[in-house]
Amino acid sequence: DIQLTQSPSFLSASVGDRVTITCRASQGISSYLAWYQQKPGKAPKLLIYAASTLQSGVPSRFSGSGSGTEFTLTISSLQPEDFATYYCQQLNSYSLTFGGGTKVEIK
């Protein structure tokens, strides 16, 4: 299976900060990567698919980039509602996998 490593696993930031989360794949996955946001007690929410395409309804402060083995999720100006855990997911193989998650907390 393709392994995904997210970094950092924990991030403390302030409202208005620019935040970047990295996801590295154990082998090349082209642009077959999605990002999700999950808040406590809630189901994950799809933010980005195909590495950089914003899901309908997701604010434009979220953006994704990368291809191959290295990907980033950027939040350009962190808002109070963005404090959550973020996961990447590879969609390249027929056996999908998630990264370990990055928890974004208030500084």
Positions in the binding site for other proteins (CB under 8 A) = 1, 34, 36, 38, 43-46, 49, 55, 87, 89, 91, 94-101
Minimum gap (Å) between residue 93 Cβ and other proteins: 9
Distance CA 85, CA 75 (A): 13
Minimum gap (Å) between residue 34 Cβ and other proteins: 4
Minimum gap (Å) between residue 44 Cβ and other proteins: 6
Of residues 62 and 87, the one with the C-beta less far from other proteins: 87
Distance CA 25, CA 17 (A): 26
Of residues 71 and 87, the one with the C-beta less far from other proteins: 87
Q: Which of 107, 72, 103, 63 is nearest to 85 (CA)?
A: 103
Ramachandran area for residue 29 (φ above 0: left; ψ -120 to 50: alpha; else beta): alpha
CA atoms within 13 A on the CB side of 47: 27
Of residues 19 and 86, the one with the C-beta less far from other proteins: 86
